[in-house]
Amino acid sequence: MESWPIYRVMGDESSAPNTVPDALALKIYQDMVLLRTFDEKALNLQRQGRVGTFPPSLGQEATEIASAHALSKKDWMAPSYRDHGALYVHGVPFENVILFAMGRAGSLAGDVRALPSSIPISTHLPHAVGLAMAARMQGEEAIAIAYFGDGGTSEGDFHEALNFAGVFKAPVIFLCQNNGWAISIPVSRQTASATLAQKAEAYGIWGVRVDGNDALAVYQVVKEARERALAGQGPTLIEALTYRLGPHTTADDPTRYRDAEEVVSWRGDRDPIVRLGTYLHQKGILLPADLEKVRETAQAWVNQAVEAAEAMPPVKPVEMFEHVYAAMPPRLVQQLQEFEGGGR
């Protein structure tokens, strides 16, 4: 079986030189810290009943943030439920992301090319292919990217999307964040394939594995995949090897299905924020005195976003009928009338 090497920039096992400018590397680090700060705040808000069920990105910040920085604002983003950081980098304000967690309308900025976060698994992958095809038909210099987890590769939508994209060479990137677990199911129970990236071969598209905790490597791989797509070379399946340090969502208890030692092994030097911070420090880009300032700035930003979200008027229950269809179908009209009439 053909070997599938892991693309890596940082560390002793690096396989590629760094091409990310220092200023951009620092910005990626700052946004990773911001995402983790946001996650910590959101977890506290959930425990206080101020937001609903929440899926933290703890441990996956490098893949989310760095990949989004490799895109153009013209590109379309199709996120899953855990990609708040990618949405933020693409232009969605954090207060709008918080609104989504609150189950409220208005969770996306109107001029940002991003679909709402997809709760169903992999159903948004065919949508990303459609967006990519539409952009090409309209002569736009734009691609689409779809985010999903390792468990998403077991869904029919995954195979249908890759097959269609491969046949028509759609300018789309399929970014699989392989964090080791699909809730409580390990990757070994998802597939017999040695890797997820090699599934690309069945559809005649390019596949690559990247160290998902190496932000610089993720940026470079996504940037190259985007350039290939724009050059008419078709889609790419990227398997980003990372790890979910926290629960699947706030409704999950990961201690019931995985060993504490496994989680500990992914902390410390393997933590994506620690890795990039160490790299920047060694290059003299990030000084020890700057670390606390970065954290304080992130905390202030997140607190401001929460205040802005919670200052908005109370949600109107009728919005759940209004935001799905441009023209409300008869069955929803009837339900709305029953709701407004108190069920009579």
What does 159-206 look like in DSSP terms, one character per residue?
A: HHHHHHHHHHT-SEEEEEEE-SEETTEEGGGT-SSS-SGGGGGGGT-E
257 catalytic residue (yes or no) = yes
Same domain, 231 and 339: no
Per-residue pLDDT, 67: 98
Same domain, 43 and 171: yes
Same domain, 159 and 207: yes
Query: One of 257, 267, 281, 344 is an active-site residue; which one?
Result: 257
Same domain, 198 and 252: yes
- Does residue 2 surpass a pLDDT of 70? no
Name the band, by pLDDT with cuts 50, 70 and 90, for residue 26. Answer: very high
Please give the average per-residue pLDDT across 91-103, as a whole number: 84
Domains in the chain: how many in total? 2
Query: One of 244, 267, 270, 331 is an active-site residue; which one?
Result: 244
Same domain, 125 and 38: yes
Q: How many whole angstroms separate alpha carbon 214 and alpha carbon 151?
A: 22
The pTM score is 0.93
pLDDT tens-place string over residues 116-135 = 899 999 999 999 999 999 99
- Does residue 14 surpass a pLDDT of 80? yes
What are the φ and ψ backbone dihedral angles of 6, each rounded to 5 degrees? -100, 120
Per-residue pLDDT, 1: 40
User: Among residues of the chain, what percentage have pLDDT more than 70?
Assistant: 97
Is residue 279 domain-resident?
Answer: yes
Please give the average per-residue pLDDT across 164-184, as a whole number: 97
Same domain, 226 and 325: no
Is residue 94 domain-resident?
Answer: yes
Domain residues for the domain of 252 are 6-312
Q: Which residue has the higher pLDDT, 85 or 94?
A: 85
104 catalytic residue (yes or no) = no
Is residue 26 domain-resident?
Answer: yes
Same domain, 324 and 295: no
What's the N-to-C CA distance of the chain in angstroms? 65
Is residue 1 domain-resident?
Answer: no
- Does residue 204 surpass a pLDDT of 80? yes
Is residue 222 domain-resident?
Answer: yes
Is residue 70 domain-resident?
Answer: yes
Same domain, 257 and 336: no
What CATH number is associated with residue 192?
3.40.50.970
Q: Are strands 206-211 and 236-241 parallel, antiparallel or unpaired?
A: parallel
Same domain, 248 and 337: no
Q: How many whole angstroms separate alpha carbon 220 and alpha carbon 258?
A: 32
Nearest C-alpha neighbor of 81 from the set 109, 106, 50, 60: 60
Is residue 137 domain-resident?
Answer: yes
pLDDT tens-place string over residues 217-274 = 999 999 999 999 999 999 999 999 999 999 999 999 999 999 999 999 999 999 999 9
DSSP assignment of 12-50 equals: TT--S---S-HHHHHHHHHHHHHHHHHHHHHHHHHHTTS
Same domain, 303 and 340: no
Per-residue pLDDT, 104: 73
Same domain, 275 and 214: yes
Same domain, 249 and 164: yes
In degrees, rounded to 5, the angle at the alpha carbon of residue 164 between the alpha carbons of residues 167 and 118 is 150
270 catalytic residue (yes or no) = no
Query: One of 8, 104, 136, 248 is an active-site residue; which one?
Result: 248
Is residue 237 domain-resident?
Answer: yes
